Structure 1
Amino acid sequence: MPLPRSKAGRVSIGAGLVAGGCLGFLPVLGFWMVPLGLIVLSHDLAYVRRGRRRVAIWWARRRQDKKTNQSAEE
């Protein structure tokens, strides 16, 4: 699904997803909306982009550490 070309459209969609995700206990909404909204917001907002990048690096290092620990145990 393509994002809107306007910055205001992308920011409003991202903020709406994050706000809807905070209400994830309701039947239609879900907590899955928070990370999706942050990904949309990271397209335009530098501080969200930096946070997303830090999480991506942390996750990659964590996976790499698990792989090395599993191969060392064998």
Structure 2
Amino acid sequence: MSRVRLWGRTLRLPRNRPLRIGMGFGFIALGLVGFLPIVGFWMLPVGLAILSVDSPLARRIRRRAEVWVLRRYHRWRGDDAGSA
């Protein structure tokens, strides 16, 4: 099983690479219509995390987004540890 960490959570993914890529694009596509009742905008980062297992570009985007969110969170909380 492949695994990916997203904001402190570990997601298990199938070993089948085409299935992972299809799941990633599916999550992103459904996340784009996040205003609908069942699906939501939460699906965008999950789809990006799934794609980051196989795609260096998606991995880079995910890492930058994660760093950006954590820096803003630490700044909001006033933690000195997040500024380093």
TM-score (norm 1): 0.76
Determine what percentage of the aligned residue pairs are the same residue: 44
Q: Which stretches in structure 1 are left out of the alignment for 5+ residues? A: 69-74
Structure number with the higher strand fraction is 2
Residue 3 of structure 1 and its aligned partner are, at CA, apart by: 1.3
Q: Per the alignment, in what secondary structure is the counterpart of residue 67 of structure 1?
A: coil
Q: Which stretches in structure 2 are left out of the alignment for 5+ residues? A: 1-10
Give the match for residue 67 of structure 1.
79
RMSD: 1.9
Residue 56 of structure 1 and its aligned partner are, at CA, apart by: 2.5
Query: Residue 26 and residue 48 in structure 1: after superposition, are their counterparts in 2 closer, same or farther (change >3 A)?
Result: same
Q: Which moved more, 1:32-41 or 1:1-10?
A: 1-10
TM-score (norm 2): 0.68
Larger Rg: 1
